[in-house]
Amino acid sequence: MLVLRLLNVVAPAYFLCISLVTFVLQIFLFIPSMFRDPSTTPLFSPALLHGALFLFLSANALGNYVLVIQSSPEDLGKGLNLGEGAEVVVDWLDGSRSPGSALPSTHFCRLCARVTQRHDHHCFFTGNCIGSRNMRNFIMFCLYTSLACLDSLVAGMAYISAALSMSFANPLAFLTLLPHSISQFFSGALLSSEMFVILMLYLWLGIGLACAGFCCHQMLLILRGQTRYQVRKGMVVRARPWRENLQEVFGKRWLLGLLIPVLNVGNDYRRQKEK
C-alpha cells in the first residue's frame, strides 16, 4: 500500500514533467527549425500550421487532465452514516460490496478512501479515481495525449532527420536509431541535445501507443456498458443498446467535448431518463 501511495504522488509529477519537456522542445526547438527564412514565411506555412495543431492538442490534453481531477467522483460513503465496526464497512474496506447494500455498481478505493459510483479504475497519472463523473474527460485526456505524443514524434523525427542528415524512409532506420546513436554519443560524434531528443522519440512512441490502446479498450467497454472493475470482478450488467451507453458517457453535446475541454455532461442523459 505504501508503494501505491508513493506511485500516486510520483506519477502525476512525472506526467507534468514530460508535458513541460515536450512543450519546450516543440516551441523552442522543433517549430523554429521548420522556419528557413522567417521574414519570407507565408501565413499558412507548415511550421505555423504544425504549431497551431500542437497547441490545440496540448490544450485539450491538459484541459481534460485538469477536469478529470476537478470532477473527481463523489464520495457516496459520506451519507451512509455507518458505524466503525459495521459489517458493511468491512466489505467496503475489502474492496467488495455488501449483498444487501443499497448502492449498486459502487466500489471503495483504498487510495482515495472514498466510495465511487460506477467505479472504473484508479488512475495513478491523475492521482484520482475514474467513475461516472469524469469518464468522458478521462477518455478525451487519453485521446489527445496520444495525438500530442504522436505529433511530437513526427516533429522530432523531422528535426533529427535534418540535424543528422538521415532518412526514415526505411522503417528499420528508426529501430536501429537508438543503438547507433548511443555508440555515436559515447564516441563524441553526437551532441547531448540530439541524444536527448532521440530518447524522447521512443518515450513519445511508447506513451502515444499506450494511451491509444487504452482509449480503444475503454471505448469498447463503454459500448458494452461495462467498467473495468465490473469486468475484473465478473459482474453481469444489463444489456442495453450501444447508443444509450455512449450517450450516457458522452451526453448529447459530445461534439463540443471533442473540440474543447468542458465538464462531463454524461449524466444529463440519465437525469432525463429518470424524469
Half-sphere exposure of residue 53, counting CA atoms within 13 Å on the CB side? 16
Structure confidence at residue 3 (pLDDT): 85
**Exposure string for 82-107, b = 16+ CB within 10 A, e = fewer:** eeeeeebbebbeeeebeeeeebebbb
Structure confidence at residue 41 (pLDDT): 55
Instruction: From the candidates 123, 129, 149, 215, give the one annotated as an active-site residue.
Output: 123
Structure confidence at residue 2 (pLDDT): 80
Q: What is the rounded CA–CA span in Å between residue 155 and residue 34?
A: 9
Structure confidence at residue 105 (pLDDT): 63
Structure confidence at residue 260 (pLDDT): 86
Structure confidence at residue 94 (pLDDT): 44
Structure confidence at residue 98 (pLDDT): 41
The mean pLDDT values, 10 residues at a time, for the chain of 275 residues are 84 92 94 68 73 94 92 64 43 44 64 79 89 89 96 94 89 90 90 94 96 93 88 82 88 81 60 42
The amino acid present at 133, given as its one-letter code, is: R
Structure confidence at residue 74 (pLDDT): 67
Structure confidence at residue 80 (pLDDT): 53
pTM comes to 0.84
Q: What is the rounded CA–CA span in Å between residue 77 and residue 89?
A: 10
Structure confidence at residue 177 (pLDDT): 92
Task: Calculate the alpha carbon distances from 20 to 65, 75, 135, 192 in Å.
Answer: 14, 32, 25, 19
Task: Calculate the alpha carbon distances from 159 to 126, 185, 190, 194, 228 in Å.
Answer: 31, 17, 14, 9, 40
Structure confidence at residue 274 (pLDDT): 41
Structure confidence at residue 77 (pLDDT): 59
Determine phi and psi for 129, rounding to 5 degrees. -80, 150
Structure confidence at residue 142 (pLDDT): 95
The C-alpha cell 467505479 sits at 119
Residue 123 known to be catalytic: yes
Task: Calculate the alpha carbon distances from 203 to 5, 18, 23, 200, 210 in Å.
Answer: 24, 9, 14, 5, 11
Structure confidence at residue 55 (pLDDT): 95
Beta carbons of 137 and 150 less than 8 angstroms apart: no
